[in-house]
Amino acid sequence: MEINRIWEMPNSNTFDIECIRKLIWRYNTAELLSVDPFANTNRIASVTNDIDPSMNTDYNMDAIEFLKTFKDSEVDLVLSDPPYSPRQVSECYKKLGMTVNMETTQSSFWSKLKDQVTRITKPNSYVISFGWNSNGMGINRNFQLEEMLLVAHGGHHNDTICTVEKKMNLMF
């Protein structure tokens, strides 16, 4: 496993940070079916979604409902850059006039999201996750950590942690 640490200025649009964009493009090629359930303004993935209709994505759905639209073992790459904290989830929902409740901010939401990502990804596919912690898919969902990038922003800014995980192809 490779671990890299790079200093970059913070940016609210994660994929505009140069080292992160380079990391994504190492795994995302034109022939792959890639999905981004939290795309914001990004158009890197083949199929994009954001709950905010002003983001001009392919879909404007709840992330879990978006992932449910894909077949089992259909997707080659998932980019997962969700809101990093309950506060960010709350701000997003309130901006859209939506109700924030325990279901939208507790860990069970993230477990359901990871269950859908596990379901839709092919063996040997990749999930690239972003956050303030190493919030990847995990070995218990049959993913192996391949690469980690720590983007240090300096000062009082939280670092961005990027994990690249490969879905293992288990033979029984």
- Report CA-CA distances (Å) from 34 to 3, 20, 27, 47: 23, 16, 10, 6
Closest-CA residue to 22 (of 8, 39, 36)? 8
Answer left, alpha or beta for residue 73, where phi above 0 means left and psi between -120 and 50 means alpha: left
> What kind of architecture, by CATH, is found in domain 2-167?
3-Layer(aba) Sandwich (3.40)
For the chain, the average pLDDT equals 85
pLDDT of residue 172: 45
Task: Spell out the alpha helix ranges (H) of the chain.
Answer: 18-27, 63-67, 86-95, 102-105, 107-120
Q: How far apart are CA 140 and CA 10, in angstroms?
A: 32
Question: What confidence tens digit (pLDDT) does each residue in 23-67 have?
Answer: 999 999 889 999 999 998 999 999 999 998 999 999 999 999 999
Question: What confidence tens digit (pLDDT) does each residue in 75-98 have?
Answer: 999 999 887 655 666 666 667 666
Residue ranges per structural domain of the chain: 2-167
- If one counts every other C-beta atom within 10 angstroms of the C-beta of residue 32, the result is 16
Q: Which of residues 93 and 113 earns the better pLDDT score?
A: 113
Q: How far apart are CA 74 and CA 167, in angstroms?
A: 13
Task: Spell out the alpha helix ranges (H) of 8-106.
Answer: 18-27, 63-67, 86-95, 102-105
**Which CB contacts under 8 angstroms, 24+ apart, belong to 62-65?**
63/37, 63/38, 63/113, 64/109, 64/112, 64/113, 64/116
pLDDT greater than 60 at residue 7: no
pLDDT greater than 80 at residue 11: no
Quickly tell me which residue has 């990804």 as its tokens: 121
pTM of the model: 0.86
